[in-house]
Amino acid sequence: MKPVRVLVVDDSATMRGMIASTLSRAQGIEVVGTASNPLEAREAIKALNPDVMTLDVEMPKMDGLNFLDKVMRLRPMPVVMVSSQTARGAEATLAAMELGAVSCVAKPTIDNPGAFDSLPSQVVAAASARIGERVRPAMAAAPGYRWNGRIVGIGASTGCVEALLAIMPSFPQNGPPVLIAVHMPENFTKSFARRLNSVTDAEVMEAQDGASLAQGRILVAPGGVHIEAVDAARPHCRLRQGERVGGFRPSVDVLFHSMAEHFGAKAVGAILTGMGSDGAAGLKAMREAGARTLGQDEASSMIYGMPRAAKSCGAVEIEAPLQDIGRRIVELTSWERR
């Protein structure tokens, strides 16, 4: 198998060296070039034709977002954003992922020296991502919704920004309680929740430990923390550190297993685009407990890994394109369509 050929773009020589060194040590990856700014990167893309580019948002001579926009219009390719963990960095990275970047990795800090541990796997996954086809947002929520008591869990990884922004408009103001677990760096999920909140009539926020699972409330698990749905008599979310599960925290499996245990048939689970198999076992447990389960189809997934794993083990009851996922969730949590 040919190695994934990577172009590293960052204005800091130190950071370029760290990224290149991390990737060069990984099996199946070849760093074919580096660039210190978008103008150099443009020439390197033409000369080297890389499979994947890592890109910093804040660079001289051209803003990283403007450069990414040009790349996605003129020469679409898989891009992994490498960003600072500041609020500004998080906002810019989310904007980049809306423009078509595949995923994001935070730059190492004193508090998080291992931030690059996932970089090689993100780059390898990006190489196989479906690029260039933008997903249209779902239709706005239909009026007259009546909640039937089911709560919802959603899990996603690579491609999660585009996927969740597409389905959020389907949820009405009085929609079902929703818990979301995504593989996203710490300090990014608060900005992500704010962005999701801007495209739906429901209330989206980063989850806090003990928050009630109330109608019209959508809770996003903070990066670096597991989220669980507990106590069917007084439904609320529980946040906990714990060990990484399958390499992830939050883990979609942890969320889905908690829903199977505490809510059984009074739940709906949906697994969206992402690499690997996180969520497959948990979604199967939900289905076996009587919950309704959905999986995103291959054609609409940026990466079909997680939905494929869930389908293969029998966890998926309904497979649907991303455009239909939000509507199907609303139907399954409504008295009108059970």
DSSP for 206-268, please give it. Answer: E--TT-B--TTEEEEPPTTSEEEEE-TTS-EEEEE----BTTBSS-HHHHHHHHHHHTTTSEE
DSSP classification of residue 141: P
Give the CATH number of the domain where residue 71 resides.
Answer: 3.40.50.2300
- 82 contacts: CB under 8 Å, gap ≥ 6: 10, 15, 19, 54, 55, 56, 104, 105, 106, 107, 119
For the question of residue 253 being annotated catalytic, the response is no
Please give the structure tokens belonging to residue 63.
């803003």
Same domain, 123 and 156: no
* Rounded (5°) CA angle 174-177-183: 130
Which DSSP helix (H) or strand (E) runs through 176? none
126 phi and psi, to 5 degrees? -60, -35
Q: Which of 127, 162, 178 is the last residue of a domain?
A: 127
Over residues 304-330, the pLDDT tens digits come to 999 999 999 999 999 999 999 999 999
The parent domain of residue 168 ranges over: 151-332
Q: Tell me the pLDDT of the chain averaged across its residues.
A: 92
Helices (H) and strands (E) in the chain, counts: 11, 14
Pick the last residue of a domain from 94, 127, 160: 127
Parallel, antiparallel or unpaired: strands 236-240 and 226-230: antiparallel
Digit-coded pLDDT (tens) for 48-79: 999 999 999 877 677 778 899 999 999 999 99
Residue 278 catalytic?
yes
Residue 143 pLDDT class (50, 70, 90 cuts): confident
- Which residue out of 10, 51, 56, 278 is catalytically annotated? 278
- The residue annotated as part of the active site, out of 183, 226, 257, 262, is 183
Q: What is the pTM of this model?
A: 0.91
What mean pLDDT do residues 170-195 have? 93
**59 and 91 part of one domain:** yes
The residue annotated as part of the active site, out of 83, 84, 128, 157, is 157
Positive or negative, the Cα torsion across 23, 24, 29, 30?
positive
What secondary structure does DSSP assign to 97-112, as a single string? Answer: HHHT--EEEEPP-SS-
**Do 301 and 222 fall within a single domain?**
yes
Q: Is residue 83 part of a domain?
A: yes
pLDDT band per the 50, 70, 90 thresholds, residue 43: very high
Residue 140 lies in a domain: no
Query: Is 183 annotated as catalytic?
Result: yes
- Give the tokens for residue 140: 């706005």
Distance, in Å, from the CA atom of 329 to the CA atom of 171, rounded to the nearest integer, reads: 9
Residue 280 clears pLDDT 60, i.e. is over it: yes
299, part of any domain: yes
